[in-house]
Amino acid sequence: MVPAVGAGLSMPILYVSDDRRRLITVTVTEPYSVDDILSAIDRQASEGQWEYAILYDQRGLTHASTETDLEQIAEHVRVAGQGRPRGPVGLAIRPHPRSFLVGLTYSTLTKEFMDVEVLLNEVQLESWLSRNSRQSRRP
């Protein structure tokens, strides 16, 4: 696993890549910007891990992305992917109507080029992880 944040630094994005499980976990905290999210997308693409499952843990956020932000992120994913299939995407969010609407909007914006699941609780999160990482499988 390779965290993106050095010891003692506080940043809005913690990016952890686990090659054994073929899983990337991006924990997003506030304050964050769209550029922070775009950087995580670029890192996944540049490190040759586009097909890895990626979990965006946004359960600590109280600020919801705007539709314009979501459109910008979706377009960036489309371009960064260069037509390659992307691994499954999980969005772990707070069970709040606004957060759920943001997750559904993003899923709709990206449905043509990737699968996004909105995860509202620990049971859904654990199910997504068991289906989309190699934790319990042998390579």
Looking at residue 37, which CATH number applies to its domain?
3.30.750.24
Average pLDDT over residues 79-86: 94
User: Is 118 domain-assigned?
Assistant: yes
Per-residue model confidence (pLDDT) at position 10: 52
CA pair distance 14, 80, nearest whole angstrom: 20
Tell me how many degrees the CA angle 46-57-130 measures, rounded to the nearest 5. Answer: 85
Per-residue model confidence (pLDDT) at position 64: 85
User: Is 138 domain-assigned?
Assistant: no
Q: Give me the number of domains the chain comprises.
A: 1
Which structural domain range is residue 43 located in?
Answer: 2-132
At residue 85, does pLDDT exceed 70? Answer: yes
Q: Which residues contact 1 (CB under 8 A, 6 or more apart)?
A: 16, 17, 18
User: Is 25 domain-assigned?
Assistant: yes
Per-residue model confidence (pLDDT) at position 135: 56
Least confident interval from 3-7, 51-55, 64-68, 84-88: 3-7
List residues bridging with 28 in a β-sheet: 13
Per-residue model confidence (pLDDT) at position 12: 87
At residue 89, does pLDDT exceed 80? Answer: yes
Least confident interval from 58-62, 84-88, 124-128, 133-137: 133-137
Per-residue model confidence (pLDDT) at position 7: 40
Average pLDDT over residues 113-124: 96
Tell me how many degrees the CA angle 6-76-134 measures, rounded to the nearest 5. Answer: 60
Average pLDDT over residues 62-75: 94
CA pair distance 133, 54, nearest whole angstrom: 9
Per-residue model confidence (pLDDT) at position 99: 92
**Residue entry with tokens 């499952």:** 53
* Burial call 57-78: b when 16+ CB within 10 Å, e when fewer: bbbebeebbeeeebebbbebbb
User: Is 137 domain-assigned?
Assistant: no
User: Is 115 domain-assigned?
Assistant: yes
